[in-house]
């Protein structure tokens, strides 16, 4: 167990970083604000002004280690994560701190497994990539649906958004990540077909029937690492992709006292093993805001010892997935979950 309640938030100046700092404070932890720009760190909201700050870039390992020193965990909210994840995770591991990030980028998760698993095990700390809306939430829902099992013949993940107001970080990350996306076919990681398969998905309310396209995120890499899945297909509806591809679409605007936008989401997961099909849907509001309770729940569990082992671990591997989802639903009020064993018709 880690002795400290200090959590270094890298990218604390960003849209997601601010939600994470608020959530850490709500959970009784002590955020340390970190980022590359002294000017932007000086301009944090007045409610964060009394918190410790560390100005440091990701290109100097010694300074990064100094910045992390004294923290029990690091939460990396600075994307593109292709530029920040490995150096920051390395500094965390070298300093004996746990590390979590919110990456949706598949190559980042692969790099963390490749470069940090051995060092993290040796240091007795855990590196959890993709503890976020994209990636982690699907990983947790699939893990929980398997109910202690690790094998599925087929998994489908359908993310549905009514709108997408992207942040600058989302746009920069999309432009930076040009890697071929991976899916699971025949039990192995495989390049997504081109053009990507499309179909209609019947989401639960409020989205209903939507055109979707196969668009896998970091959940493919995390799921492949800790579960034995024959076929994994991840879809996103096309309406929010039109928002994303329109350069005139504005960023998210706060519409409630928590700073959340009005955006609504559904993450629909269908898991089939033999003749047994289970469907679980998580609904909620604002994909950036909901990332904060997800990653902070991870930080809380890493700090209080409610995690398994050490090394690089997927969200559903490091934590009790059902317990994390229950906390997000009942205590944080971040998502609503509906489960069904019949496997309703979803795709055509």
Structure token pair of residue 292: 């904060």
Minimum gap (Å) between residue 36 Cβ and ligand NAP: 4
Comparison of 237 and 310: residue with beta carbon closer to ligand NAP: 237
The full 3-state SS of 148-179, as one line of letters, equals CCCEEEEEEEEEEECCCCCCHHHHHHHHHCCC
37 near ligand NAP, judged by CB under 6 A: yes
Comparison of 79 and 284: residue with beta carbon closer to ligand NAP: 79
36 near ligand NAP, judged by CB under 6 A: yes
Question: Binder to ligand NAP among 5, 9, 31, 35 (CB under 6 A)?
Answer: 35
Cβ atoms of residues 73 and 8 within 8 Å: yes
Question: Binder to ligand NAP among 125, 132, 146, 312 (CB under 6 A)?
Answer: 132
DSSP code per residue over 197-253: PEEEEEPPTTT-EEEEEE---THHHHHHHHSEEEEEEEEEEHHHHHHHH-TT-----
291 near ligand NAP, judged by CB under 6 A: yes
Comparison of 67 and 300: residue with beta carbon closer to ligand NAP: 67
Ranges assigned E (strand) in the chain? 6-10, 30-35, 53-55, 73-76, 98-101, 126-128, 151-161, 182-185, 188-191, 198-202, 209-214, 228-237, 264-273, 276-285, 311-312, 335-340
249 near ligand NAP, judged by CB under 6 A: no
Residue 301's contacts (CB-CB under 8 Å, 6 or more residues apart) are 307, 318, 319, 324
Cα–Cα distances in angstroms (integers) from residue 185 to residues 112, 230, 270, 278, in the given order: 23, 6, 16, 20
167 near ligand NAP, judged by CB under 6 A: yes
Stretch that binds ligand NAP, among 13-21, 190-198, 224-232, 340-348 (CB under 6 A): 13-21
Minimum gap (Å) between residue 277 Cβ and ligand NAP: 26
Stretch that binds ligand NAP, among 8-16, 60-68, 301-309, 326-334 (CB under 6 A): 8-16
Question: Binder to ligand NAP among 21, 85, 111, 133 (CB under 6 A)?
Answer: 133
Minimum gap (Å) between residue 176 Cβ and ligand NAP: 8
216 near ligand NAP, judged by CB under 6 A: no
Stretch that binds ligand NAP, among 168-176, 219-227, 235-243, 266-274 (CB under 6 A): 168-176
Comparison of 83 and 153: residue with beta carbon closer to ligand NAP: 83
Residue carrying structure tokens 């955020």: 31
Cβ atoms of residues 337 and 324 within 8 Å: no
Q: How far apart are CA 153 and CA 230, in angstroms?
A: 5
Stretch that binds ligand NAP, among 80-88, 106-114, 147-155, 182-190 (CB under 6 A): 80-88
Minimum gap (Å) between residue 201 Cβ and ligand NAP: 19
240 near ligand NAP, judged by CB under 6 A: no
Q: Tell the burial category of 190 from Cβ atoms under 10 Å away from its Cβ (0-12, 13-18, 19+).
A: middle
């Amino acid at each position: 167990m880690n002795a400290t309640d200090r959590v270094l938030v890298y990218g604390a100046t960003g849209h997601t970083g601010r939600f994470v700092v608020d959530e850490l404070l709500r959970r009784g932890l002590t955020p340390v604000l970190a980022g590359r720009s002294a000017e932007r760190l000086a301009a944090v909201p007045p409610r964060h002004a009394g918190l410790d700050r560390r100005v440091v870039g990701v290109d100097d390992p010694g300074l990064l280690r100094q910045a992390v020193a004294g923290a029990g965990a690091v939460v990396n909210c600075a994307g593109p994560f292709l530029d920040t994840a490995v150096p920051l995770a390395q500094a965390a591991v070298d300093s004996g701190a746990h590390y979590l990030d919110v990456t949706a980028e598949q190559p980042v998760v692969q790099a963390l497994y490749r470069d940090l698993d051995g060092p993290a095990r040796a240091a007795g700390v855990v590196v959890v990539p993709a503890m976020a809306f994209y990636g982690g939430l699907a990983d947790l829902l699939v893990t929980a649906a398997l109910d202690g099992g690790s094998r599925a013949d087929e998994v489908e993940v359908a993310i549905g958004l009514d709108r997408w107001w992207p942040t600058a970080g989302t746009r920069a990350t999309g432009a930076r990540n040009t890697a071929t996306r991976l899916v699971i076919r025949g039990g192995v990681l495989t390049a997504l077909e081109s053009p990507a398969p499309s179909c209609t998905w019947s989401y639960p309310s409020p989205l209903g029937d939507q055109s979707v396209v196969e668009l896998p995120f970091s959940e493919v890499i995390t799921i492949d690492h800790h579960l034995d899945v024959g076929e994994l297909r991840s879809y996103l509806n096309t309406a929010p992709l039109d928002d994303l591809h329109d350069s005139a679409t504005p960023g998210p605007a706060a519409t409630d006292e928590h700073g959340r936008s009005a955006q609504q989401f559904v993450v629909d997961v269908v898991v089939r093993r033999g003749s047994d099909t289970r469907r679980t849907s998580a609904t909620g509001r604002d994909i950036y805001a909901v990332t904060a309770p997800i990653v902070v729940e991870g930080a809380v569990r890493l700090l209080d010892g409610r995690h398994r082992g050490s090394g690089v671990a997927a969200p559903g591997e490091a934590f009790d997935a059902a317990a994390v989802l229950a906390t997000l639903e009942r205590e944080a009020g971040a998502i609503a979950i509906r489960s069904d064993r019949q496997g309703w018709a979803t795709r055509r």
